[in-house]
Structure 1
């Protein structure tokens, strides 16, 4: 099991679909190359962004295999295996280990709520045990799972029970809790930020890595935020973070992930819409979104340039 912690921008990858909603694996290799060329330093597969919860177990396996193959060892690949069936989640974890993924991660079951840390530890021990050779990150996203338990307590107590627990994907907005988690055995635990709109605040709190959806379409912007922060240029860091907020606000006027897939289409990747209940944008909606993004200057500042360094973190 590797001791290396994640660093920099990790893209929460999208799952390409044909117009009929079936998997379309063909764009994954080119999309992966494109992301890496933009400065992405890891791939988080079949998470919320990748519609993992809308895919069958068999589909999740082939998507995971495609991204591991596309990455070809150049960047770490984290496979998200969370499922309401812990047995299936454990099998997905075992599969991730078998195909050569670097890490495994999981949300908690959400249909039946988890209301105490002991139960959460029991559930994650079951899942992580499916891939004992891989480092395991718990995916904390209370807005979707409904589980808003004390994550510092989970790390403190879960680390004693789950030998391969190495940290959290922390997708929440509570910076004070994020700070508490960072301070729990920092030699062992890696706490990765997961709210794109608040990256600057997370950097100030101590984040050294982030997993996000909009890194797929605007990696240079976020690398610019990191570089400005590193240089101590807070005015520039705030300016760039404001662009991120406006971009996300604009995309959020539509079903978010369907709109994000449309923006990837504007960047040359035809990866379809989303599975229901998320759906897809109409042609008129796509055109309005394109115009709105253009008015923000998105098609200029989303591209690598000398002012948005890719060498930070």
Structure 2
């Protein structure tokens, strides 16, 4: 009697492929899973599933997934500004020694807000900054000229500390003379409120020489007072700082060169990290002042590690908001579309990593 032995076929688990995230119908909801490379995570259903392209499309056609898809899209489109969180967040910043507030800029999702929302948010923060004795700067640019003028008039009426301008992000200035003309038009609608320009070439794709800009704007606009310099080019920013320090203030607006900036003589520091780690930024400044260079270097390195572990998980704005939730225990609202909100698995991983490096 003959016996036929059938060799059992070994089933090899499918692994997650990054290329799946480029499929248009899959991209909005799929992500890696914290349970390992043999699973994928659905942001809409908030669950992990076994990998495989067949399994992905089967899941996408399931009634439960389509129901979650509809409710998620509706919720994200109707998401409003959560004013209830502003007071406790302002309290956190004040307790950490933050002296100035900049609102409606890139990291504050200013570019995702309507003109009316930006004006309403300004009114809200004006009252808070009066109460907490903080200096308020309001970014009004990055919008059509008519809207920028409307916000400039409103900021003047509200007596904000300063107006911050980003350029028109569609009709971009071609050179520094175009930029001066743009600022001059806005200044004609304000009387006394100081105006700063936010130089952020990585975001605006406009890399105008700020030294030439400061030289030629001198005498043109009486209320123009300086620049927020969000660039890692420390040499160029230092040239702007030393050009006319009696007339113009230059803020260092990037985290990566904070140590070098303070050591080079910058006294006005901004940075995305101050939203979540103001004490660490303050430590860098104080250590340089006290001559404790090694301590300042340690703080800068820790700051870099923290930000690297935050930003590596997705869009900078979304990840920063997620980090605010972790650092302050406030339920900060997710970002508006088309930015992609961080999913729970990312938050868990981020929180674990920040704990590991000693931030929390």
Coarse TM-score class (shorter-chain normalised)? 0.7 to 0.9
* Structure with more contact order per residue of length (Cα contacts < 8 Å, sep ≥ 6): 1
Cα distance in 1 for partners of 2:331, 2:218 equals: 42
1:265 is the counterpart of 2:292: no
1:276 is the counterpart of 2:334: no
**How far did 1:113 drift?**
2.7
Cα distance in 2 for partners of 1:198, 1:239 equals: 13
1:221 aligns with 280
- Structure 1 portions without partners, runs of 5+: 1-16, 300-313
2:90 aligns with 32
Residues 139 and 168 in structure 1, CA contact (< 8 A), matched pair in contact too:
yes
Query: Where in structure 1 do 4 or more consecutive aligned residues deviate above 4 Å?
Result: 17-20
Q: Where do residues 132-147 of structure 1 align in structure 2 (5 Å cutoff)?
A: 132-147=191-206
Residues 86 and 126 in structure 1, CA contact (< 8 A), matched pair in contact too:
no
Cα distance in 2 for partners of 1:240, 1:211 equals: 16
1:84 is the counterpart of 2:143: yes
Match of 2:303 among 244, 254, 257: 244
**How far did 1:193 drift?**
0.5
2:187 aligns with 128
Residues 83 and 108 in structure 1, CA contact (< 8 A), matched pair in contact too:
yes
Residues 44 and 211 in structure 1, CA contact (< 8 A), matched pair in contact too:
no
**How far did 1:53 drift?**
1.1
Cα distance in 2 for partners of 1:135, 1:112 equals: 24
Q: Where do residues 1-313 of structure 1 align in structure 2 (5 Å cutoff)?
A: 20-72=78-130, 74-254=133-313, 255-266=315-326, 267-299=328-360
Superposition CA RMSD, Å: 1.6
**How far did 1:20 drift?**
4.5
**How far did 1:19 drift?**
9.2
Cα distance in 1 for partners of 2:329, 2:120 equals: 23
Cα distance in 2 for partners of 1:130, 1:169 equals: 22
Cα distance in 1 for partners of 2:249, 2:220 equals: 17
Residues 30-69 of structure 1 deviation map (CA, whole Å, 9 limit, x = unaligned): 2112101101010001001111111110010111111111
1:12 aligns with none
Residues 263-292 of structure 1 deviation map (CA, whole Å, 9 limit, x = unaligned): 221222112111122221111111111111
Q: Radius of gyration: which is bigger?
A: 2
**How far did 1:100 drift?**
2.4
**How far did 1:144 drift?**
1.1
**How far did 1:18 drift?**
8.5
Cα distance in 2 for partners of 1:197, 1:258 equals: 19
**How far did 1:216 drift?**
1.5
**How far did 1:130 drift?**
2.6
Residues 175 and 201 in structure 1, CA contact (< 8 A), matched pair in contact too:
yes
Residues 119 and 151 in structure 2, CA contact (< 8 A), matched pair in contact too:
yes
